[in-house]
Amino acid sequence: MKGLSEKLGARIRYFRMVARMSQGELANASQLTNGYLSDVERGKVNISITNLNQIAEALGVQLSVLLDCDTDMDKEKTLISIHERLKKMPDDGLLALERIILMMAQQCDSED
């Protein structure tokens, strides 16, 4: 079973890859050394909240998102994948998709 440092490191690595950043780029953006960030991602060090906040800001995610190590990463990956696809859709496609989602939500609500 993974320890908290390893889980946190895996989340940082995951969000870094989603942001399409190298370790060096994230280290530079968060004002940390590449070696330290590597140790953090491998769960080899206990990171301070200050350094963790710098990483979160560099990744453009909320600190609470990085700290939520119990969140199912498969769901996280799916949501990020959907978000990436939505960003590429034309406006009329987004509006049509929104209507579909609202209809599905209403149907789910009526079944409860």
DSSP code per residue over 2-29: --HHHHHHHHHHHHHHHTT--HHHHHHH
Cα(103)–Cα(112) distance, integer angstroms: 15
Question: Is residue 1 pLDDT above 60, yes or no?
Answer: no
Q: Is 72 left (phi over 0), alpha (psi -120 to 50) or beta?
A: beta
Domain around 78: 72-112
Q: Which tokens is 15 given?
A: 């969000």
Cα(88)–Cα(71) distance, integer angstroms: 26
In a shared domain, residues 44 and 91: no
In a shared domain, residues 12 and 58: yes
In a shared domain, residues 37 and 83: no
Place of tokens 């491998």: 42
* pLDDT tens digits along 7-61: 899 889 989 988 889 999 999 999 999 999 999 999 999 999 999 999 999 999 9
* CATH for 38: 1.10.260.40
- The number of domains in the chain is 2
Higher pLDDT, 36 or 2: 36
What is the pLDDT, as a whole number, of residue 73? Answer: 64
pLDDT band at 68 (very low <50, low <70, confident <90, very high): confident
In a shared domain, residues 37 and 48: yes
What is the pLDDT, as a whole number, of residue 23? Answer: 96
In a shared domain, residues 15 and 61: yes
What is the pLDDT, as a whole number, of residue 71? Answer: 64
pLDDT band at 87 (very low <50, low <70, confident <90, very high): confident
Q: What backbone torsions phi and psi does residue 50 show, to the nearest 5 degrees?
A: -65, -50
Closest-CA residue to 73 (of 1, 14, 13): 14
In a shared domain, residues 66 and 80: no
Out of 4-8, 51-55, 65-69, 80-84, the most confident range is: 51-55
16 neighbors 42 (Cβ within 8 angstroms):
no
